[in-house]
Amino acid sequence: MNWPLRPSRLPVPVLLALLASGCAVGSSAARAMGGRPLAPAGSFALTPYVAGLFTVEGEVAGRRLPFLFDTAGGVTLLTLAAAEAAGCAPYGNDVGFRHDGGQVVLQRCAGVQLTLGAGPASWRTRDAELAVFDLAQLLGNAPEIGGLISLASFEGERITIDLPGREIVRESPASFAARIAGARELRIRPGRQAGGAALDLFVAVDSPRGPLWFELDSGSTGETLIAPHAAALLGLDLAPTERRSAALTLHGLPPVELAVRLREKLIYDGLISIGFFERFVVTLDLEAMRAWVRPRAEPAPMPAR
Could you read off the pLDDT of 258-298 as tens digits, one per residue? 999 999 888 899 999 999 999 999 999 999 999 999 998 74
Length of the chain: 305
- CATH 3.30.499.10 for domain 27-178: no
If one counts every other C-beta atom within 10 angstroms of the C-beta of residue 157, the result is: 18
Could you read off the pLDDT of 13-22 as tens digits, one per residue? 333 332 233 3
Q: What number is the average pLDDT over the span 197-220? A: 94
Residues in Cβ contact with 228 at an 8 Å cutoff, skipping those fewer than 6 apart: 262, 264
304 has a pLDDT exceeding 60: no
Could you read off the pLDDT of 77-133 as tens digits, one per residue? 999 999 999 999 999 887 877 777 777 878 889 989 899 988 777 898 888 889 998
Rounded CA-CA distance 6/183 in Å is 32
**Helix, strand, or coil (residue 187):** coil
Question: 8-12, 184-188, 198-202: which has the minimum mean pLDDT?
Answer: 8-12
If one counts every other C-beta atom within 10 angstroms of the C-beta of residue 259, the result is: 13
Bridge partners for 271 per DSSP: 215, 225
Q: What number is the average pLDDT over the span 62-72? A: 93
User: Which helix (H) or strand (E) segment is 84 a member of?
Assistant: helix 80-85
183-294 shares the fold of 27-178 = yes
Predicted pLDDT at 296: 85
Could you read off the pLDDT of 226-239 as tens digits, one per residue? 999 999 999 999 88
Predicted pLDDT at 3: 54
Rounded CA-CA distance 266/98 in Å is 9
What fold characterizes domain 183-294?
Answer: Cathepsin D, subunit A; domain 1 (2.40.70)
Instruction: Show me where the domains of the chain are located.
Output: 27-178, 183-294
pTM above 0.85, yes or no: no
301 has a pLDDT exceeding 90: no
